[in-house]
Structure 1
């Protein structure tokens, strides 16, 4: 499972599914009663997703992994401090390079927690600290349920993005409560969930596709796509690439300066540079419920594909380097 990561130059099938969903929403957008039905289906799917997350995560494993606190604090600092600072600095790109809605989307990307599945997969391929990655990525997602809405309230409200107390309550109801329920019944269904990853993967990807369809249907109904030119789209892609390059450089060289070994350095780089599509899209439907969120979630989808491609290449290169070093060490020893 962990080796099924898209290589550079090959489109992730899941991203292809998202693009197809965007195309369907553009041609056949849901509206009226159909849109309401899809919206409720999305909420149910997202709740089920976080219920399964809760059932899968071992509380004892998480508490044991927290002992390596320097590693986790460094990753969380990259996720919830360095990224937001870079997002705020990108404000200078408005309106010359980015429009205000696209900038809000980019800033939103910077406020999200790390991914879980891909972070662990890349760390495993690159021969990093896998247990540390499991704990950090999982804890980042749990903490993000609280921290991301808070950061949105502090940083995005002043930029014109609506947020109120009901949004925070909505996050708790849709994400946290199902997660807690999953933890509560984990002793009975946890082993089955961990053994059969297909149901979780189906709910994971299915819920995201539903969110994408609803978001882009609303965008088509409100006519917001006429404001996005090809030039703006390419500019946004370039900005996302620069953002990813900066964070990868800071986490790689910064962790080395802090004295972490190679395994921890790999873990900090891959976990600290990721942003979660699985968490970000469902949150956006709650945090920006009264707004057209299509342009706000577009930067997240672009950044997600970039991080997969670039980090897949990096993980493969690090794995080859580790194999070469092991071969050289074995040769010198013999």
Structure 2
């Protein structure tokens, strides 16, 4: 099963922060650079998202509502249910990170890639991931305010305002300027991708440096990490099953079910890390640890599932909803005899 090279870079950044954490004036510089990098990151997100594609994708509204419900309703409900695992499997800080994981939006790139490999509805996956990221800029902080409250590292109205100024305003600015810079962003997609990832690495370094200075890593033991991995494996398995069989119950065809499964069962590291740095402050390192582990786990498991879906022949049950709908349409369209 694949190991994402970027995860190795993230782990290397965590190691660097553990050995050489930013302190004093260096910490202030790193914090300011991290804030600027996050704003620029969401500015690029806004510049990349095609408004026309987003509006066209609204035509398949049932699929998008299903994905959004999985991401921002079912996931958080399961996160709240995990409260019962404290303190047997999880410490309270790790649970807060797990709950935050359930609040962040879905991924875009990996959902598209796995949907394509599995021969699913790729345009739907593109729109579903884009909608989830856009909605998450507003919904994730609101859910964090409601479910995490003051336990989430000091979340307050000021944190919500900071989220708006640091994430939403740059995103809107990118959308407004897309008419003039969209072509440049598209032509230099690969180079700007390195900027994206570099920004996230800077956020991780800053967050984990603060954690080292605060000494919060003494709260985590190997046994607790093992418990966290077990809980996340169960969470992922439940969401993969719900998105696949739930989509069948809602009478989606096979291609749509594939898109729903891969878009509705994932959580975005790229969106979650910047939000955590704003919401949790010095406690962000523990808050993002569950998200980093879940991100790698979902890539490994979904890569296997996507390859199996690509090899499996389409069964009549997979296409039953579409076949039934087509039959009803043909009957309705046929001339009626007297």
- Fold conserved (TM > 0.5)? yes
Q: Given the alignment of the two structures, is residue 244 of structure 1 paired with residue 236 of structure 2, yes or no?
A: yes
- Say which SS state the counterpart of residue 311 (structure 2) adopts: helix
**2:162, 2:278 within 8 Å by CA — same for their partners in 1?**
yes
* TM alignment of 1:23-42, pairs within 5 A: 23-42=15-34
Q: Given the alignment of the two structures, is residue 166 of structure 1 paired with residue 152 of structure 2, yes or no?
A: no
Report deviation, 1:162.
2.2
Closer, same or farther: CA 288–188 of 1 in aligned 2, 3 Å: same
Alignment counterpart, residue 151 of structure 1, candidates 143, 147, 154: 143
- Say which SS state the counterpart of residue 66 (structure 1) adopts: helix
Alignment counterpart, residue 265 of structure 2, candidates 265, 273, 283: 273
**1:252, 1:268 within 8 Å by CA — same for their partners in 2?**
yes
**2:152, 2:279 within 8 Å by CA — same for their partners in 1?**
no
Q: What residue number does 2:204 align with?
A: 212
Report deviation, 1:200.
2.7
**2:149, 2:156 within 8 Å by CA — same for their partners in 1?**
no
Report deviation, 1:57.
1.1
**1:48, 1:203 within 8 Å by CA — same for their partners in 2?**
no
Q: Given the alignment of the two structures, is residue 312 of structure 1 paired with residue 303 of structure 2, yes or no?
A: yes
1:64-93 CA distances to partner (integer Å, 9 max, x unpaired)? 111111000000000000000000000000
Q: What residue number does 1:282 align with?
A: 274
Closer, same or farther: CA 169–242 of 1 in aligned 2, 3 Å: same
Q: Distance in 1 between matches of 2:183 and 2:216?
A: 45
**2:23, 2:213 within 8 Å by CA — same for their partners in 1?**
yes
1:124-148 CA distances to partner (integer Å, 9 max, x unpaired)? 1111111111111111111111111
From the CA coordinates, give the structure whose radius of gyration is larger.
Answer: 2
Q: Given the alignment of the two structures, is residue 70 of structure 1 paired with residue 62 of structure 2, yes or no?
A: yes
Q: Distance in 2 between matches of 1:221 and 1:161?
A: 16
Report deviation, 1:20.
0.5
- Say which SS state the counterpart of residue 114 (structure 1) adopts: coil
Q: Distance in 2 between matches of 1:173 and 1:159?
A: 22
**2:72, 2:105 within 8 Å by CA — same for their partners in 1?**
yes
The 10-residue stretch of structure 1 (233-242 or 182-191) with the greater mean CA deviation from structure 2: 182-191
Q: RMSD of the alignment, in Å?
A: 1.5
Report deviation, 1:185.
1.6
Report runs of 4+ in structure 1 exceeding 3 Å deviation: 158-161, 322-325
Q: What residue number does 2:128 align with?
A: 136
Q: Distance in 2 between matches of 1:85 and 1:22?
A: 30
- Structure 1 unaligned blocks of 5 or more: 1-7, 326-334
**2:137, 2:168 within 8 Å by CA — same for their partners in 1?**
yes
Closer, same or farther: CA 322–30 of 1 in aligned 2, 3 Å: farther
Report deviation, 1:159.
4.7
Query: Paired residues, what number?
Result: 316
Report deviation, 1:199.
2.6
Q: Distance in 2 between matches of 1:191 and 1:310?
A: 35
Q: Given the alignment of the two structures, is residue 258 of structure 1 paired with residue 250 of structure 2, yes or no?
A: yes
- Say which SS state the counterpart of residue 185 (structure 1) adopts: helix
Q: What residue number does 2:185 align with?
A: 193
Q: Given the alignment of the two structures, is residue 106 of structure 1 paired with residue 98 of structure 2, yes or no?
A: yes
Q: What residue number does 2:292 align with?
A: 301
Q: What TM-score, normalized by structure 2, do the two folds share?
A: 0.90
**1:104, 1:161 within 8 Å by CA — same for their partners in 2?**
no
